[in-house]
Amino acid sequence: MQIPDQWVGALVVGLIILVLGQLVLSCRAYYQYKDDVRNQIDGKIGNIATSLENLNAKIENCTIRIENIYARLESFENKYDRADKELWNRADQIERRLQDKNSQLKEELLTLQTTSDLLMKAGLAGSEDIYKKTKRG
């Protein structure tokens, strides 16, 4: 039995069409897969960008807080310096006052000592007189 030439031609054409169809389908599937991958990557890039933005905002907040802390620290140091100076000034003032008072007290004590010595001498003379008189009497 001999196969007609038309059949062979039709078969070859059919096979070619089939191969071409497969090729087209493969290409289509490849491009579709490529798009999916691209979309996924785009999504992930978008997420990373959002995360980076959040991170930047947080870093900015931290920077602002650190600046505030530095400002407060500086203010505290200034206050501390002022308080330290004031304290030493007051201590000096009190020391000077105490020295003045001490000198005054020493002078008063000397006066009192002199007065009491004089009074004691007078009292001694008076008491001796009375004692001797009474003893003689």
Partner 1 sequence: MPLTPAQFERMEYLLGKAQHTSLAPNEQDELRRYVVVEQPGAEDVTFETVVTLGLIIVGAYLLYKYLESPA
Contacting residues toward partner 1, per CB under 8 A: 116, 118-132, 134
- Shortest approach of partner 1 to residue 117 CB, angstroms? 9
- Shortest approach of partner 1 to residue 130 CB, angstroms? 4
CA 92, CA 84: separation in Å to the nearest integer?
A: 12
Cβ closer to partner 1: 100 or 128? 128
Cβ closer to partner 1: 20 or 112? 112
Looking at 1-137, list the stretches that DSSP marks H as alpha helix, in order from N- to C-terminal side.
Answer: 5-136
Helix count and strand count (H, E) for the chain: 1, 0
- Shortest approach of partner 1 to residue 105 CB, angstroms? 19
Say what the alpha-carbon torsion angle 70, 74, 80, 82 is, to the nearest 10 degrees.
Answer: -170
Cβ closer to partner 1: 98 or 120? 120
